[in-house]
Amino acid sequence: MEDKGTVWLPVDASTMAGDIDSLFYFTYWVSIVIFVAVIAAIVYFVVKYRRRQANERTERVHESHLLELTWIVIPTILTMVVFTWGFQLFLKMGIAPPDAYEITVRGQKWSWEFEYPNGTISMNELRVPVNKPVRLVMSSEDVIHSLFIPAFRVKHDVLPNRYTAVWFEATKEGEYPLFCTEYCGTLHSGMLSKVFVLEQEEFKDWVDSGGGDFDDMPLEEYGEVLYTQQACIGCHSTDGTRLVGPSFQGIYGVDRVFDDGTSALGDDNYLREAILDPAAKIVAGYQNQMPPSYSSLNERQVSALIAYIKELQ
């Protein structure tokens, strides 16, 4: 994106952004005017009523009803304006248009999963059509996360055992950051994804193809795509670095030692089990942190990941 937004606000790329920014700038300028007026009054009074000689007493001051009314009435009006304006926006943000396109969002430690109406799933990459209202229905596999798309001015907690929803209508094609803004554990800061706003036809083709056409791709290459797309990258390095989970490098064909003292050869069948049923064997020195959701990977995806891991020797 060329447009980086302003000093205070990121680029505005949804129908709601303009309204929210106007309210922000209204509050901002009112605060600046009041701040400057109060500071100016302080400086003026400090100078005007400074003590000029020892034992000097000020004259008795009587209250001014006009002045008191002014500083009660004006701030009351201003707060009521901000309240009404904000409440209207709050309602608008809370109620999605009935024809909104619905995407299911699942937060988990530490990745985002997006599921489209036809069953297409993408990890850590949300794709949406431009100029079409989109509603996100969100829940969490584990702890509280929070979905934040600054460019759309959209932010909402994602809770376990409960659905929450937000909606937006993107107005500019492009790529925007999506963050988790609720501290959710070790790799909270790694829970960043991207939103891609696509032209409507392009979006439709992408969803219909099941999230990209990888049928002709060689297994190792597809595995590398999945490594990012399925968010393995959050917990497993490919260069031997220790993260939340063991690195993918140098585990194929090597004996794996588990926390119960047993061991097994890191072959295809071991890797298959480690992906589909991660709790079955826990490598010594690590904790059982991997979400069970990978059991929904299909046969080709599992083979592709194994082929990719095999390459990392």
Point out which residues bind ligand CUA (CB under 6 A).
107, 110, 145, 180, 182-184, 188, 191
Least Å distance between CB 183 and ligand CUA? 6
When the beta carbons of 140 and 301 are compared against ligand CUA, the nearer one is 140
When the beta carbons of 153 and 188 are compared against ligand CUA, the nearer one is 188
When the beta carbons of 193 and 301 are compared against ligand CUA, the nearer one is 193
When the beta carbons of 94 and 160 are compared against ligand CUA, the nearer one is 160
Least Å distance between CB 182 and ligand CUA? 5
Q: Are 217 and 226 in contact (CB under 8 A)?
A: no
When the beta carbons of 89 and 137 are compared against ligand CUA, the nearer one is 137
Secondary element (H or E) of residue 264: strand 263-265
Produce one character per residue of 141-163: b if its CB has 16 or more CB atoms within 10 Å, e if not: bebebbbbbbbbbbebebbeeee
Angle CA 112–118–123, to nearest 5: 20
When the beta carbons of 17 and 191 are compared against ligand CUA, the nearer one is 191
Least Å distance between CB 142 and ligand CUA? 9
Q: How far is CA 221 from the centre of its chain?
A: 28
Strands 101-108 and 111-115: antiparallel
Strands 145-149 and 121-123: unpaired
Q: How far is CA 263 from the centre of its chain?
A: 39
Least Å distance between CB 89 and ligand CUA? 26
When the beta carbons of 177 and 210 are compared against ligand CUA, the nearer one is 177
Structure-block tokens of residue 221: 């290459």
Produce one character per residue of 260-277: b if its CB has 16 or more CB atoms within 10 Å, e if not: eeeeeebebebbeebbee
Least Å distance between CB 227 and ligand CUA? 20
Exposure of 203 by Cβ count < 10 A (0-12 exposed, 13-18 middle, 19+ buried)? Answer: buried
The sign of the torsion formed by the CA atoms of 119, 125, 129, 135 equals positive
Least Å distance between CB 294 and ligand CUA? 18
Least Å distance between CB 188 and ligand CUA? 3
Least Å distance between CB 289 and ligand CUA? 13
Cα(93)–Cα(158) distance, integer angstroms: 16
When the beta carbons of 107 and 246 are compared against ligand CUA, the nearer one is 107
Q: Which among 114, 125, 98, 312 is positioned nearest to 223, based on CA atoms?
A: 312
Angle CA 153–154–160, to nearest 5: 160
Produce one character per residue of 100-126: b if its CB has 16 or more CB atoms within 10 Å, e if not: bbebbbbbbbbbbbbebeeebbbbbbb
When the beta carbons of 163 and 183 are compared against ligand CUA, the nearer one is 183
Least Å distance between CB 157 and ligand CUA? 10
